């Protein structure tokens, strides 16, 4: 069989074999850390915390951490503080000239930006860790248990939580450098996949035990999920091609150029980043509430509707943020002026369009046209879990019908398969598919 032959070919390539093995081992380390509770915390007394993270926006936090949040793990805060810091730094790159200069400095500028991102990540961790401990104390008390009190426990646990998140970031970077795929994306994906078997089992049990459709409904849900996955793949891979003609050049007795090529412009150039950006902002109400339960405070009354992931206001604001960040991130990653200058430098031009400024304006116009439907479809995918929940699907399983989880799964899997296929083709083996090469997101999350 072709699949077995492909696996054999993968294992024959020593470098690829080492990369896959290292990735697997580092992921095992991360999963092991996710079940190690903070010192002084009784793992058997976390029932209320696990109930709190069974659904809603707290469930999303737990999903991104791969269950570490509900386990009161030493890596409970996961990778989200780093993502939040990345958002802030990228926004500063739009507003502050110093960061704009760093973005144009190439590799040295990227190193400085990464350094600033890490500093900001530590600052966010120092603020989030005590808030997490406050919530943990409230939930444990609600369950009839207590956790150690005193300043020393708070300080030491804050240091452990911050160090745990930074260690997860380090694991992600090692996977990127020495393993397969983008490490941070891979860690998030593993955390999401870890919840899939349990969510599917709970959905199946509810369908059979409550006489709500049984096997037929479960099959229909599975078909609907596969259809949504197919749509997400189309969204990730969709492109609009612009024809480019290169002028003929004579170098000695040889002729170069003259061939027509295409510039592939992605319908969703921002990939999954707008949803992640929007999601990080939607986590802010939870942070402002301080993970508390003071129902009399005005903050609680204002921000509580924004913590209901199936509510109207949460999804409405989420859609607006996704569309906004899609345009923003596309503007950051796609530079029509630079593309026009590169074409002109290489004696290329778009037929019927003057080189230079007119070409930049034309590319910018095309990007604006294809970004809107891409942004709308991305927003639709993001709110699909809410619609799935309306049809009676369990919250845990509904989260796989769209949103960040689905697009991360699709994008990371495609990127990883594309990298594996590149190793195969480079060593003259057949690719993973007969029909053609796998198209990834043509870029990394971070």
Q: What is the pLDDT of residues 67-85, one digit of tens each?
A: 888 888 999 888 888 888 8
User: Does the pTM exceed 0.85?
Assistant: no
pLDDT in tens, 389-410: 787 787 777 777 766 677 778 8
Instruction: Tally Cβ neighbours within 10 Å of residue 74.
Output: 23
Side-chain half-sphere CA neighbours of 425 within 13 A:
13
- Name which of 407, 408, 435, 405 is nearest 421 in CA terms: 435
For the chain, percent of residues with pLDDT exceeding 70:
85
Note whether 58 and 52 are within 8 A (CB).
Answer: yes
Question: Which pLDDT does position 256 carry in this prediction?
Answer: 47
Any idea which of 19-23, 167-171, 240-244 has the lowest mean pLDDT? 240-244
Question: Which pLDDT does position 41 carry in this prediction?
Answer: 86
**CA 304/CA 237 separation, integer angstroms:** 37
Question: Which pLDDT does position 44 carry in this prediction?
Answer: 81
Question: Which pLDDT does position 116 carry in this prediction?
Answer: 92
Question: Which pLDDT does position 250 carry in this prediction?
Answer: 45
Instruction: Tally Cβ neighbours within 10 Å of residue 411.
Output: 27
**CA 57/CA 55 separation, integer angstroms:** 7
What rounded mean pLDDT belongs to the chain? 78
Which tokens sit at 261?
A: 């090529």
Average pLDDT, stretch 41-46? 82
Question: Which pLDDT does position 364 carry in this prediction?
Answer: 85
Backbone angles phi, psi at 263, to 5 degrees: -95, 115
pLDDT in tens, 159-201: 999 999 999 999 988 998 888 878 887 888 888 887 778 778 8
pLDDT in tens, 334-361: 778 888 888 777 777 788 788 888 888 8
Note whether 48 and 147 are within 8 A (CB).
Answer: no
Question: Which pLDDT does position 79 carry in this prediction?
Answer: 85
pLDDT in tens, 298-340: 666 676 777 777 788 888 888 888 888 888 888 777 778 888 8
Walk me through the domains of the chain, giving residue ranges and CATH numbers.
Answer: 1-179 (1.10.3370.10), 194-446 (1.10.3370.10)
- Name which of 251, 269, 386 is nearest 335 in CA terms: 269
Question: Which pLDDT does position 314 carry in this prediction?
Answer: 82
pLDDT band for position 251 (cuts 50, 70, 90): very low
Number of H helices, E strands in the chain: 18, 5
Coil, strand or helix: which one is 436? Answer: coil
């Amino acid at each position: 069989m072709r699949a077995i032959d492909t696996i054999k070919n993968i294992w024959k390539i020593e470098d690829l074999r080492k990369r896959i093995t290292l990735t697997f081992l580092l992921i095992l380390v991360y999963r092991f850390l996710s079940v190690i509770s903070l010192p002084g915390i009784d793992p058997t007394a976390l029932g209320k915390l696990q109930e709190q993270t069974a659904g809603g926006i707290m469930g999303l936090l737990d999903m991104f951490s791969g269950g570490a949040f509900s386990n009161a793990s030493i890596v409970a805060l996961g990778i989200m503080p780093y993502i939040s810091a990345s958002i802030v730094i990228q926004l500063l790159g739009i507003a502050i000239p110093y960061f704009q200069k760093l973005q144009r400095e190439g590799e040295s500028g990227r190193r400085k930006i990464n350094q600033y991102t890490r500093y900001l990540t530590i600052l966010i961790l120092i603020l989030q860790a005590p808030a997490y401990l406050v919530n943990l104390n409230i939930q444990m008390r609600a369950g009839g248990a207590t956790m150690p009190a005193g300043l020393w426990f708070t300080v030491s646990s804050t240091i452990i939580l911050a160090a745990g998140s930074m260690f997860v970031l380090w694991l992600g970077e090692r996977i990127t450098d020495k393993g397969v795929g983008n490490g941070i994306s891979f860690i998030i994906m593993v955390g999401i996949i870890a919840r899939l078997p349990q969510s599917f089992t709970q959905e199946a049990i509810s369908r059979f035990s409550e006489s709500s459709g049984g096997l037929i409904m479960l099959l229909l849900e599975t078909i609907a999920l596969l259809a949504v996955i197919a749509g997400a793949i189309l969204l990730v891979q969709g492109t609009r091609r612009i024809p480019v003609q290169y002028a003929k050049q004579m170098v000695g007795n040889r002729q170069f150029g003259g061939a027509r090529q295409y510039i592939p412009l992605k319908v969703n150039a921002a990939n999954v980043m707008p949803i992640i950006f929007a999601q990080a902002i939607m986590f802010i109400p939870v942070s402002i509430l301080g993970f508390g339960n003071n129902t009399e405070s005005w903050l609680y009354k204002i921000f509580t509707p924004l913590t209901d992931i199936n509510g109207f206001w949460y999804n409405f604001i989420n859609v607006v943020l996704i569309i906004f960040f899609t345009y923003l991130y596309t503007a950051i990653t796609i530079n029509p002026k630079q593309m026009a200058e590169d074409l002109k430098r290489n004696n290329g031009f778009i037929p019927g369009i003057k080189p230079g400024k007119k070409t930049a304006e034309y590319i910018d116009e095309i990007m604006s046209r294809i970004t809107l439907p891409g942004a709308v479809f991305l927003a639709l995918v993001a709110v699909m879990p809410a619609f799935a929940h309306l049809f009676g699907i369990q919250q845990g399983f509904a989260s796989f019908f769209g949103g960040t989880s689905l697009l991360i799964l699709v994008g990371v899997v495609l990127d990883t398969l594309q990298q594996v296929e590149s190793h195969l083709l480079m060593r003259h083996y057949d690719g993973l598919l007969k029909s053609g090469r796998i198209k990834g997101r043509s870029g990394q999350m971070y």
